[in-house]
Structure 1
Amino acid sequence: MKLARSMLLLSIVLLCLGALGTADTEKTETALIYQAQKLSFPEYLAELDRISALADPSNENQQTPDEAISRLRGGWRVVAGKQELEINTGWLIDQFEKLKKNSDSGIRTELRKRLGDLKSDALAFQQEPADATAARTTLSQILARSEFHQVHGPTWLDRLKFRILEWIFRQLRRFFGSSSAPAAGRILVWTLVLVAVITLAFFVYRTIRQSAREDSVVPQIMPVSAKQWRVWMSEAQEAAASGLWREAVHLAYWAGISFLEERSAWRPDKARTPREYLRLLPAASEHRPALSALTRKLEVTWYGNDPAGPDTFSETVTLLENLGCRQA
C-alpha cells in the first residue's frame, strides 16, 4: 500500500516537472533569439522618443512598424545607478503588429500615449525624493501612542521563514530557470499540502477505526446488566485464551459492573463512565475497595495502554473474586 502511494505521488511530480520543462524550453528558445537591450537612462529616454516618432500619425512610411518591432524585440534592461529595471515591450509590439495590418490613427494615438507614460515614469524616477523627515516624525509620534504598543516589525521567526522561502526559490530558479520558479514553487507547495492532508486523513481514519474496535465491546445501547456477568466473564476468558490480554481485562471489568448492577448497587444507566460507577458506591460499601482496584486496573491497561499479559488478567480475576464474582 505504501509502495502504491509512493509511486502515485512520484508519477504526479514527474508529470508536473515534465510540463514545466516543456514550458521552460519554449521560453528559453525565445530568449535565445531575442536578447533584452541593455540601455543607460539617457539611452532609454532617447529610445522612447525614437519609437514615439515611429508611431507618429504623420509618418506614412510602410516600413515604420517593422523598424519599431525590431527595436522592441526582447524588451529593455535599463541601468539606473546600481539598479537594473526590466521593461516589458510585449504590448507595444502587439500594437505595432496591428498597425502593420491597419494604419489606424487610434492605434497610433494609443501607442504615443503609452510611450509618453513610460517617459513620464522614467523622469519621475530620476527626481530626488521629497524630504520625509517631518512625515517620519509625525508617524513616530502616532506609533508611540499606547494603542500601537503591540505593533512591531517582522520577528526573528518571520525573518527565518522568509530566508527559508527565499532559499527554496533560489534553488528552484537554479533548477528550472527564473521564469518557471514561481510556478514550480506553487506546485511544490501544493504537493506538500496534498501529502500533509493525505497523511492527516490516514491518521484520523486509523484513530477512528481503533476507537471503533476498542469501543465495540462496551455496551452502548443497553445497560451493562442486560448481559449477565457470567457471560461477560466467559467472553473475557475467550479473549485471554486468544492472547488478547487488554481486551480480556476490559471485558472482565464489565463483568464486575454487571455483577453489582444485578444486585441493585445502582440504577442501570448506559451512559456512565468507570469513575462514575465507582462514585456511586458508598464509602462504607464492602465492594468499594475491590471496585476501586478493578477500576484502576482497567484505566492503566485499557485506557493507559500499559502492557498486559497473563499476570495482568490473573490479577483482574482475583479482584473480581474479591468483589464476589465467583464461578460456580
Structure 2
Amino acid sequence: MRAWSQLWLLLLAAAASPAQQRPADLAADLRRWSAVVEEGKPFDPNLLPEAWSVGSPDALYSISTAPLKAHLQSGSKDHRAVRAWLELLAASLDDSNPVQWDPSAAEKLSRILARPEFRPPAPPSNWDLWWRALGRSIQAILDRLFAFTGSHPSSIQVFLWVLLIGSSGFLVYLLMRSWRHEQRTGPLSPGRLPELSLNSGAWVAAAHSARRQGDIARSIQCCYWAGVTHLQAAGTLPPHFAHTPREYLRLLSGKHELRAALGVLCTRLEHCWYARATPDDQDLASCLVALKELGCSVD
C-alpha cells in the first residue's frame, strides 16, 4: 500500500513538471497537493519543479513552488497556511479561465446603444444658437460694465443711483397706468340701461340720449342692442338675450350682409366695452351706419 502511495505521489510530481499547463489543469493539481498536505503523506520536496508553468491565450506565467517545498521540508504539522495558499492559487486559476464568447453579444450591444438614452445629443437648432449668441452678448456687456466700474470706484454709486431712480420711475409708471386704466369707461351699471324688453326704436332713442350726455360708450352699447332687437323682431335671431355678441354673429353665418353689419356693432362694442378703449364720434357714426344696413331707423 505504501508503494502505491509513493507511485501516486511520483505521478503527481510528474504532472507538476515545468511543462506548460492549462489553468484548469493546474488548479486541479493544486487541490490534489492540498489534499496531500492535509493527509501528511511523506514526499520528497526535491521532486517538485522549481515552478509551475501555466499558459493563457495572452501570455505564459510561472508560479514558484518554493512555499510548498519549504512546508514539506519543515515537517510541520500545521498545514493551514500552505493549504490556504494552494486554495487561493487554485481559485485564482479558476477565475482566469477564458470567458465563453456569446456570438449575439455584438447584436445585443447594438440594440442597447440604439436606445434614446444612449443617442448622441442633437445639434443645436437656430433658436438655440440665437439664445447662445444673445447670452454671449449680454455677458460681454456686463463684463465691460463691471470692468469700467472696477476701474472707476465712484461710478458704482452713480450706477446704483441711476438703477434706483429708473426702477422707481418704472414702478410709478405702472401704478399710474393701472390707475388710468381703472379710470376709463368701466362696465355700465345695470340700473342706467333701458329694459331689455324695449324695441329697437327705444334703443335708438337711448343711444341718442347717451350721445347728448357725452357718454359715447353707452351710446354704442345701445346701438348694439337696437340692432339685436331689430333682428329678433324680424325673426332672424332667437327672441332672448342668452347669447354673446360672437354667438349672435355665428347665428348669421348664412346671411353675409346682415352678418357684416352686426359684426361692426359687435366690434365697436367689444372695443369700448370689454377692451375699455375710449370711443369717439367716428366709432358711433359707424354704428349708426351699420344700423341702417340692418334696416333699422336711426332718426
Q: What TM-score comes out, normalization by structure 1 length? A: 0.38
User: Which protein has the larger Cα radius of gyration, Structure 1 or Structure 2?
Assistant: 2
Q: State TM-score, norm by structure 2.
A: 0.41
